[in-house]
Amino acid sequence: MSSKDRILGRIRRASANAPDAEIPRDYLQVHGTRTPAERVDLLAAHLAEYRALVHRTDGDGLPALLTRLLAERGARTVLVPPGLPPHWLAAAGPVLVPDRADSTPHELDLVDSVVTGCALAVAETGTIVLDAGPDQGRRRITLIPDHHICVIRVPDQVVDSVPQALPLLDPSRPLTWISGPSATSDIELDRVEGVHGPRTLEVVLVGRE
């Protein structure tokens, strides 16, 4: 008998008399009511609480803001996902490095910064979700460089809660949920940002023009 059959047989004998349970779905879909502007404010506050650096601008101001943020970090090279709107980095000074399928982790490790969009953001938890869409690129480009700038279109890409976020996501795509920069509390529970992911996460909330 294969282990699969053995395990399934044991499960069937063991669970035959187990109680079944209806799953109550009476928990809240949203915690509180907010206007779109309040939702964006809550997202910004929660992101900042987890030590992400939050900036706001509109479409016209975005290229100049990105240029300034990259310059402040001293970025000489910046990774660019294939579908990033070209005008976002039209004013940028650093050398643009396209995300290529054959670039190795060591090559990516030499790049200073990465700029991406996102799939959506969750206000109640201060979370950005990436789904490897064209303006976000592969998972590794937001992981290896030390500085990640993520652009969120507000209020359109912002939902209130986790229950609202999941139905909008496609589980067949690789999903990365990011809530503040990499952090550890393993040493005497002192929170330290930036262990293995980007040490600096900057979020740009871009309003409608």
Partner 1 sequence: MTGTYLGMPAFPEAAREAVRDEVLRANLRHATHTIRDKRARSVAELADWDRLRAAGKAVKDHTLRHLDRYLLQLEEAVTAAGGTVHWAADADEANRIVTDLVRATGEREVVKVKSMATQEIGLNEALEAAGIAAYETDLAELIVQLGHDRPSHILVPAIHRNRAEIRDIFRTEMGSWGRPAPEPLGDDPRELAEAARLHLREKFLRARVAVSGANFMVAETGTMVVLESEGNGRMCLTLPETLISVVGIEKVVPTFRDLEIFLQTLPRSSTAERMNPYTTMWTGLGPSRGADGDGPAAFHLVLLDNGRTDTLADETGRQALRCIRCSACLNVCPVYERAGGHAYGSVYPGPIGAILSPQLRGTGTEIDASLPYASTLCGACYEVCPVAIDIPEVLVHLRERVAQGGPVTRGGVRVTLRPADGRTAERATMRAARLLLDHPGALRAGERLLARARRLAPRRLPGAGRAWTDSRELPTVPAESFRDWWARERGDTQ
* Interactions with partner 1, residue window 20-59 (CB under 8 A): 20-28, 31, 46, 50
- Please give the full DSSP string across 116-169, using - where no structure is assigned: E--SEEETTTTEEEE---TTT--GGGGTSSSEEEEEEETTTTEES-HHHHGGGS
Of residues 58, 60, 109, 156, which one binds partner 1 by CB under 8 A? Answer: 109
- Given the complex with partner 1, which of 26 and 209 has the nearer CB atom? 26
96 binds partner 1 (CB under 8 A): no
- Residue entry with tokens 């879909």: 29
Tell me the closest approach of the beta carbon of residue 103 to partner 1, in angstroms: 8
Judged by CB under 8 A, the chain residues 143 through 182 that form the site for partner 1 are: 143-144, 162-163, 166-167, 171-182
- Given the complex with partner 1, which of 33 and 208 has the nearer CB atom? 33
9 binds partner 1 (CB under 8 A): yes
139 binds partner 1 (CB under 8 A): yes
Q: At 208, is the secondary structure helix, strand, or coil? A: coil
Tell me the closest approach of the beta carbon of residue 33 to partner 1, in angstroms: 13
Q: At 79, is the secondary structure helix, strand, or coil? A: strand
Tell me the closest approach of the beta carbon of residue 51 to partner 1, in angstroms: 10
Whole-angstrom Cα distance, residue 199 to residue 209?
Answer: 31
Do 177 and 128 form a contact (C-beta atoms < 8 A)?
A: yes
119 binds partner 1 (CB under 8 A): no
> What six digits make up the tokens of 95?
């050398």
